[in-house]
Amino acid sequence: MMMSLLHMRHFIAVAEELHFGRAAARLGMAQPPLSQSIKRLEERLGFPLFERTQRMVRLTAAGRVFLQEARRTIAQSEDAVRLARRAASDDLAQISIAFVSAALYRLLPRAIRAFHEVWPETTIRLDERSTEAQLADLAGGDIDLGFFHPPIKTVDGLAVELIHRDKLVVAAPSHHPLALSNRCRLADLAGHDFIMFPHPQGPTLHVKITNACRTAGFVPNVVQEARQMHTILSLVAAGLGVSLVPLGATTMKIAGVAFIPLIDAPADLAWELAMGWQPRGARKALRSFLETVRSTSHELKFEP
């Protein structure tokens, strides 16, 4: 019977909190995937670990025994990682990462937390830069890894991987008529002032948004432009217009902004994020971080 350390970590968190919501917050994940993880673990074991009612969660007798063994297994795995890390101590110094702001919404913070569970002694140096600046720095060896918006021009020796696609949602002032609806069509945005990022910052997505609006029967009336998502949402909160933003931006929780699902967006209308690095001579820590980013991106696909 195969079970992962991740399942055990999930179980330990729920067993210690005796509350799925608090355990999910502690793990930095949404509650539904955590509940599914515990369900799969119980199915593999063939017996329940928890007794669940509407008011409480508690361990079964088998769950109490399993908790002791799970803690021991996790401790042993951490010891193994620690010993292996010492053997690779020449690879622990630093990873230099540049990013566009979209990487901070959900993907990068979670990936860094997961990475530091295994490589706590590795320093990650972060620097926000434009896509163009990142490509130059990657080519010159000034950074180890970049997170940017595709597509990009070809750079010799650079590996590029699309890692995340975030669907777009409508951001509107909380007092706006659109905020009263639980869903929105592109045509509903006709006649409303738009707040967008500058065309040079993301020309491909900028054109896709404009074309999608035209297909819906209108040309967006852009009254304000801003580079930072926090600024865009602040302008929305001020009542200056509406915007199309990535789903991940909803985690920013800016007062006065309502987010409405967009139900008829074209399939290619998404906020894309790619990572790029020089594979030649990539160190162990960097390769491990790349795998962490991939697994984190996979988890995000199954979260609302």
Q: State how far the Cα of 261 lies from the Cα of 46, in Å rounded to an integer.
A: 39
**pLDDT at residue number 172:** 97
- The mean pLDDT value for 174-182 works out to 91
The tens digit of pLDDT for each residue in 83-98 reads: 666 556 555 578 999 9
For residue 46, the 8-state DSSP code is T
Token pair for 192: 């409303």
Domains of the chain plus CATH, in order, are 5-87 (1.10.10.10), 91-163+272-301 (3.40.190.10), 165-270 (3.40.190.10)
Q: What is the average pLDDT score of the chain?
A: 89
- Burial letters 245-269, b for 16+ CB under 10 A, else e: bbbbbbebebebbbbbebeebeeeb
Q: State the CB neighbour count (10 A cutoff) for residue 33.
A: 17
Percent of the chain surpassing pLDDT 70: 95
CB 243 within 8 A of CB 194: yes
DSSP-assigned states of every residue in 62-122: HHHHHHHHHHHHHHHHHHHHHHHHHHTGGG-SEEEEEE-GGGGTTHHHHHHHHHHHH-TT-
Taking only the tens place, the pLDDT of each residue in 220-264 is: 999 999 988 899 999 999 999 999 999 888 888 899 999 999 999
